Amino acid sequence: MTSRFKTFAAVLALASSALAGSSAFAQGTTLLNASYDVAREFYKDYNAAFVANYKKTTGKDVKIDQSHGGSSAQARAVADGLDADVVTMNTSTDVDFLANAGMVAKDWNKKFPENASPTTSTMLFLVRNGNPKGIKDWDDLVKPGVQVVIVNPKTGGNGRYAYLAAWGYVKKKGGTDAQAAEFVGKLFKNVPVLARGGRDATTAFLQRNIGDALITFESEVVSIDREFGTGKVDSVYPSISIVAENPVAVVERSTKKKGTGELAKAYLDWLYSEEAQEIAAKHALRPRSQAVLKKYAATFKPLQLFTVQELFGSLGDAQKVHFNDGGQFDKLYTPGAK
């Protein structure tokens, strides 16, 4: 090997090393958050605030990418290879699914405070401006001639919570499981078509003009006002609804490969900061911080809430009884049936 060639080889090696280092740096400072459909606007604002805070406290630049869809569909995408560093879902069963697949820690719900759920939400109704059908509570949704838009409980946590909220409404009023099943069956007979995810449901209701009411998360009201303009819909708070937790977890399979574990933890930790909790409240996500919750009391109107644990044991238990193939939902709902 000539000295000229040796010099060229050394330069090439140094260049390769620098590129490899640059690649590792880029991987280590970019994070992908796989999240549920209607959380995209919240995380857009949260990401900007987190990036600024991370720069201020560590001096490091980071980039956050988002991926959104129905929560269960997102969980399946991660299991199938979507290289997300963190998941921020709307049901614990979707995170449990990833834990059982070895993607996240088995004890993921103990890795962060409040059952690893930095915010909660609840299910309410959106009706067309002026509420022309006079919808005030769950009983109004099962009346003949009322069409209701709901996410498919098989594909989205939004839909599962809507189903369980309706079931729990009957139970909290003293009804039996048989009466709850009859009520939910009537409700789904008023569903013209099941949406794939929360945003798909909103699009069907507002852009395709399907239905008289949309059952969705409380936070979707803010998103609709921002996207479609205020005055398009009225929000209706039913007398009874369900607490919907928003669980988060580090995708350890991805972070170990990409070296992003520390950044992923910092990203999820900061969701509990007062600044992040305030951003959540502005997007109508119920904050865990009692101080922020009190500050935004006008946003979160009082209603009687019950938890999944109170009536169904856990979301996992509810999944087995109601949403697995051959479960209660399959017995109650036949596509196209009237």
Evaluate whether 36 touches 3 at the Cβ level (below 8 Å): no
- Closest to 80 measured CA to CA, from 89, 72, 92, 90: 72
Task: Reply yes or no on domain 121-244+299-332 having CATH 1.10.10.10.
Answer: no
Residues 127-153: tens digit of each pLDDT: 999 999 999 999 999 999 999 999 999
- List the beta bridge partners of residue 241: 305
Render the burial of 14-31: b for 16+ CB within 10 Å, e for the rest: eeeeeeeeeeeeeebbbb
Q: What is the pTM of this model?
A: 0.81
The rounded Cα 122 to chain-centroid distance in angstroms is 12
**Residues 113, 46, 275, CA angle at the centre, nearest 5°?**
65
Tokens 């009201």 found at: 221
Evaluate whether 176 touches 219 at the Cβ level (below 8 Å): no
Identify how many contiguous H helices and E strands the chain contains and give both numbers: 17, 12
Q: What is the pLDDT of residue 26?
A: 47
Q: What is the distance in angstroms between the CA of the first residue and the CA of the last residue of the chain?
A: 83
Q: What is the pLDDT of residue 22?
A: 40
Q: DSSP letter at 327?
A: S
Q: What is the pLDDT of residue 37?
A: 81
Q: What is the pLDDT of residue 196?
A: 85
Angle between helices 157-172 and 92-100 (to 10 degrees): 130
Q: Do domains 30-117+247-272 and 121-244+299-332 have the same CATH topology?
A: yes
Residue 165 CA to residue 93 CA, distance in Å, equals 16
| Positive or negative: CA dihedral 272, 77, 195, 41 | positive
What contacts 24+ positions apart, CB below 8 Å, involve 16-22? Answer: none
CATH top class, domain 30-117+247-272? alpha beta
Q: What is the pLDDT of residue 222?
A: 74
Residues 269-320: tens digit of each pLDDT: 999 999 999 999 999 999 999 999 999 998 898 899 999 999 999 998 999 9
Evaluate whether 146 touches 212 at the Cβ level (below 8 Å): yes
In the structure encoding, which two tokens stand for residue 142, read together? 């099962």
How many Cα atoms sit within 13 Å of 76 on the Cβ side?
8
Evaluate whether 151 touches 332 at the Cβ level (below 8 Å): no
Radius of gyration of the chain (CA): 23
Q: Where are the domains of the chain?
A: 30-117+247-272, 121-244+299-332
Low-confidence ranges of the chain (pLDDT < 70): 1-28, 336-338
